[in-house]
A = this chain, B = another copy of it.
Amino acid sequence: MKYAVLGTGMVGHTLATKLVSLGHEVRMGAREADNVKATEWASSQGSQDGHGTFADVARWADRVIFAVSGAQIETVAAAVGEAAVAGKTVIDVTNPLDFSNGMPPDLVPHLSNTNSAGEALQAALPSAKVVKTLNTMNHEIMVNPAVVPGSHDVFLSGDYEDAKGDARDLLAEFGWSEPIDLGPLAAARGTEGMMPFWLRMWGAHGSANFNYRIVRA
């Protein structure tokens, strides 16, 4: 499978590297085609072609992962453009963090509570099939659930069942069994809304190596 990973931060780096290790073809996208981090990542994977602009790598790919800053989701979606993602499964792992009031960050007001980065992405690229998942945990756990011992959960939501199936396949490749389906993409308001708790829990625990388990009666 050809995966475009949009974003050159820790999350994008971790996801792209894991996808390569799983045997996929991967290109990392950035605002500029010659982005240093993307170029270095591609180079580290022995590839000259493994990077490009957001639009270039998305157009090339079968599936597109948004691993950018959630606060920038609309800007990045505009840079990608509808033509590059029409009909494709788009995996959104972002959180719309707002650092303008200091630490810990809040959520971007217009992308939270009555909206979400996931929904904003879908609205900006209506012919894509957006699935929200993996945004409730540290990047290392995303691709290796065994970082945290025992049973714990990953969630997904989206408006297209076929795209959710693709996301389930990806999650299974990462090691996740039985992801919890929260229903329509609007449930991203819920999972993105957990981030302020997550940040406080990170502070209380002193490490990002934790995850949620939903214990059911």
Contacts and interface: CB of A to CB of B under 8 A. Distances in A.
A196 B193 CA distance: 7
A217 B210 contact: yes
Interface stretch (A6-14, A38-46, A119-127, A145-153): A145-153
Given A150-B215, A213-B213, A215-B210, A190 B201 contact: yes
Contacts of A217: 147-149, 207, 209-210
B214 A210 contact: yes
Contacts of A182: 197, 200-201, 203-204
Contacts of A157: 200
Contacts of A106: 113-114, 189
B212 A215 contact: yes
Nearest to A210: B216
A195 to B, nearest CB: 8
Interface residues of A, number: 44
Interface in A128-162: 147-152, 157
A216 B114 CA distance: 31
Interface string A78-96: 0000000000000000000
Interface of A: 101, 106-107, 109, 112-114, 147-152, 157, 180-183, 187, 189-191, 193-201, 203-205, 207, 209-217
19 contacts: A106-B189, A107-B193, A109-B113, A113-B113, A149-B215, A152-B213, A181-B204, A182-B197, A182-B204, A190-B201, A193-B193, A193-B195, A193-B197, A201-B214, A207-B216, A209-B217, A210-B214, A212-B213, A213-B213
